[in-house]
Amino acid sequence: MAKTVGIVAEYNPFHKGHAYQIDCLKDMGFDRIAVAMSGSCVQRGEIALLDKFCRAGMAVDCGASLVCELPYPYSCFSAEGFAKSGVHILKNIGADALCFGSESADISLLCSIADYLLSGEYEANLKKYLAENMPFAAAREKAITEKFALSREVITASNDILALEYIKECRRINWDVQLIPIKRKGADYNDLSLKASFASASGIRNAVKEYRFETAAGYVPETVQKDFLNRLEQGDYFVADTAFEKAVIAGLKKLSAADFETLPDCNTELAHAFENAASISNSFEKLFENLPTKQYTKARLNRIMLFAFMGTNSSIPALPPFIRILAMDKNGEEIVKKADKISALPISHSYRILQDKSENCRRVIEKEVLATDMQSLFFKFSGENRKDFTTKFYKK
């Protein structure tokens, strides 16, 4: 029987580096590639550049077999929560292998570190450094680098951080799956320059923000370049412009510290910091000047801002309660047929069908629908409403 390999991705946007990963898997003999892809919002706490139906279609046109949605708010959780949710979907799809990008691509080392992070020894070391008033990220880093005598780059690289979380989750749920790291090529994750043959998604988004559409398109596979450019030229894309900033900050100004504290990933210290910063800020630049950016990552602060803007508190199911199909080809159909027999989750391309499966499904769908509507509202030229109910899934 043909094997299925799973990928957790954002495709924000889909670019040549993503196509390279898919090509590598095909060269390894995987003809069925299933992707759990972030919906309308992404893990760094931002709204995606292009809508999810477009991104999923591009992935299938470039070799993916099946793209399923990782819905908001799971798509905006910390690395651990994001990885848990993606792995949960891929396991229920019936993947035989899990592939991820990696700066180190050293699976033996990554597995050793992941096992250590699940151990009592790590917990004891972490508590020791936290007791010394180290920020969590610094305490975690020290607990790992001292154990393995590593340079910090190995555990602070964006893809390897997620790789460790994927491995940890597979261990936690006893999912005996083949793990396939593929070494990242080209620009670093946050590199905005467009000099390497493989640009980062951040660099491509930055080029779009600066209206350098042709330049941005040069880093997208030729198969989907025309569609990519058409979307940009029609204003069918999101950028955090002044109107969006003011809308977010207006929402933040309405919240008290007690309100902020109900949001995922927000503690008491951050809740009071946000209440104060929002009251004296009128732009994202000023807001971040007034937030504790040395103790907390910008991604975490972005996630809290987005949770506040979307009105998302912690009262949601721990894991995605459904699998929603965004795009597929004939191999994807075979993956879905198999998944229908083994999945503990309902599977469909239709939110109208899925929202009637359970109260948990309805609650999560409500959140993702709002995220999609917000993305459309703040497109360069406002898009259509209720896309989640009007857009057909893509079948190649």
User: What pLDDT sits at residue 190?
Assistant: 61
User: What pLDDT sits at residue 384?
Assistant: 84
pLDDT in tens, 272-285: 999 999 999 999 99
**Of 11-15, 127-131, 183-187, 338-342, which gets the smallest average pLDDT?**
183-187
Q: Whole-number mean pLDDT of the chain?
A: 93
Nearest partner of 365 among 315, 305, 322, 325, judged by Cα: 322
Token digits of residue 335 = 């993956």
- For residue 321, pLDDT beyond 60: yes
pLDDT in tens, 241-278: 999 999 999 999 999 999 999 999 999 999 999 999 99
User: What pLDDT sits at residue 214?
Assistant: 95
**Of 9-18, 331-340, 374-383, which gets the smallest average pLDDT?**
374-383
pLDDT in tens, 166-202: 999 999 999 999 999 998 876 565 656 676 678 889 9
Instruction: Please state the rounded mean pLDDT for residues 33-62.
Output: 97
More confident residue, 196 or 357: 357
- For residue 158, pLDDT beyond 90: no
d(CA 204, CA 274) in angstroms, rounded, equals 30
Its pTM stands at 0.94
More confident residue, 198 or 228: 228
Instruction: Please state the rounded mean pLDDT for residues 320-332.
Output: 98
User: What pLDDT sits at residue 187?
Assistant: 58
Distance of CA 72 to CAs 101, 138, 158, Å?
22, 28, 21
Instruction: Please state the rounded mean pLDDT for residues 94-107.
Output: 93
User: What pLDDT sits at residue 191?
Assistant: 58
Q: Which residues contact 71 (CB under 8 A, 6 or more apart)?
A: 39, 320, 324, 364, 365, 367, 368
Q: Which residue has the tokens 């670019």?
A: 15
- Domain ranges, ordered by start, for the chain: 4-103+181-186+215-235+316-395, 104-156, 242-310
